Amino acid sequence: MKEVVVTGLGIVSPIGQSAAEVLDHLLAVRSGISLWSAEGFTKTFPAGIIRGDFNDHFEKKDLPYLDRITKMSIVAAEQALADAGLPSGLGEPGPRAGVFAGTVSGGADTQTTWLHDYSAGGKQTARPFTLMAGMHNAPAAWISIRHRIAGPVITHSSACASSGAAIGDAMRWIRAGDLDLAIAGGCEATLNAPVMGAWDGLRALARPDPGDVGRSCRPFSRDRGGLVLAEGAVFLVLESAEHAASRGAHAYATLSGYGIACDAYHVGSPHSRGQTAAITAALRDAGLHPSDLSYINAHATATPTGDPVEVASLRDALGDAADAVPVSSTKAQHGHMLGAASAMELAVCLLAMKHGFLPATAFLEDIDPACQLRHVPMVVERDVHICHTLSLSAGFGGTNIALVASRRID
């Protein structure tokens, strides 16, 4: 099998609209969570909000086709290509390049606008291009069109594991020798009243912290109050090591392990067996023992039930190493990016490896006794040599994804 390397990162997130900005926020342990509200909606929630509409990035004739999610995805993908040393695109890659994207809701703004126009405005016919702007595969399709990518263009929707599945799928295509290069990642733009109301119906959302809304997401904390939704897009350029070397590209790391497993338990409640199986499979795929890991970016959404289940999963999968391998959840800073979560947290792992630090779990002042691990609370640990990282994502429906990235030895 071919070695798969990451050569480019593109990030549009609540803690930065570039990899450099995200790095600054991570090192400073600075929150990107602020207060969300909507006209006619009486409740307010903390959320990971990205400012700006990105319209200036596009020609006017294309805007009717572009939901917010697609705009952010195109921007992130182009950042990743530039970072990979391909600032003018891929030329004519034909079938040897692909796009793999993950999302939970697709073009949610477009979908909800049309539903409002129909139900409240009495309209019988949607605006032109509504279907194309709102479809789940629009971000991947537009990335392929703009860069003439004629290989597989695939959209995954496995709840909060969506972008992890997309990255793992891309990795397998390249490993098998069927592709030389892929743009892989995830995207989400669901900060609107109908979606917020649906999530609120689950009783899963955190309320604004009364002292500082930026502190509203507190994974692993005794006083955690629920998850904080966020928007964003994160895409990576994956290549075979051979292809990257042929053009003199720098690699962040090798994508060395991928594990996917389902709980087969409940559509909305996690079970440790699926998470444990995904972690174990990823380590086996990478040829690693648990003690080889240098850092784990946990899924940890700060829900009362989810965090302890994940801790139990990590303990089952890691054994004695569970008390030694550093763990953190950066959702405390950027919130839960749903379909983009796996990609965001893998990107955090890659930045940590490149710059030699352990990301912290912000606001972790009082660790829940049911969540005891080797945490990195409050402050990053610097000057750390990271060899192997693991990121874990778990989604409704029971799909769990683990991705292992490893330092390259040149």
- Give the active site residues: 160, 299, 336
Question: What is the amino acid identity at position 357?
Answer: F
**Which pLDDT score, from 0 to 100, does residue 62 have?**
95
The CATH superfamily holding the domain 258-402 is Thiolase/Chalcone synthase (3.40.47.10)
320-351, pLDDT tens digit by residue? 999 999 999 999 999 999 999 999 999 999 99
pLDDT at 385: 97
Q: Domain limits of the chain? A: 4-246, 258-402
What backbone torsions phi and psi does residue 365 show, to the nearest 5 degrees?
-90, -30
pLDDT value of position 89? 64
**C-alpha atoms less than 13 angstroms from C-alpha of 36 in its C-beta half-sphere:** 26
How close are the terminal C-alpha atoms of the chain, in Å?
A: 18
Q: In CATH, which superfamily holds the domain spanning 4-246?
A: Thiolase/Chalcone synthase (3.40.47.10)
Q: What is the pLDDT along the chain (410 residues), one digit of tens a residue?
A: 999 999 999 999 999 999 999 999 999 999 999 999 998 899 999 999 999 999 999 999 999 999 999 999 999 999 999 999 997 767 666 789 999 999 999 999 999 888 888 888 788 888 889 999 999 999 999 999 999 999 999 999 999 999 999 999 999 999 999 999 999 999 999 999 999 999 999 999 999 999 999 999 999 999 999 999 999 999 999 999 999 999 999 999 999 999 999 999 999 888 999 999 999 999 999 999 999 999 999 999 999 999 999 999 999 999 999 999 999 999 999 999 999 999 999 999 999 999 999 999 999 999 999 999 999 999 999 999 999 999 999 999 999 999 999 999 76
pLDDT at 92: 67
Pairing label, strands 374-375, 381-382: unpaired
pLDDT recorded at residue 127: 86
> How many CB atoms are closer than 10 A to CB 120?
9
Q: Assess whether the region 4-246 and the region 258-402 belong to the same CATH fold.
A: yes
Residue 25 tokens read as: 């926020």
CA 347, chain centre distance (Å): 8
Average pLDDT score, the chain? 95
Q: Which pLDDT score is estimated for 409?
A: 77
Write down the pLDDT at residue 119.
80
Q: Which of 383, 385, 386 is nearest to 404 (CA)?
A: 386
Over the stretch 184-201, which tens digit does the pLDDT of each residue have? 999 999 999 999 999 999
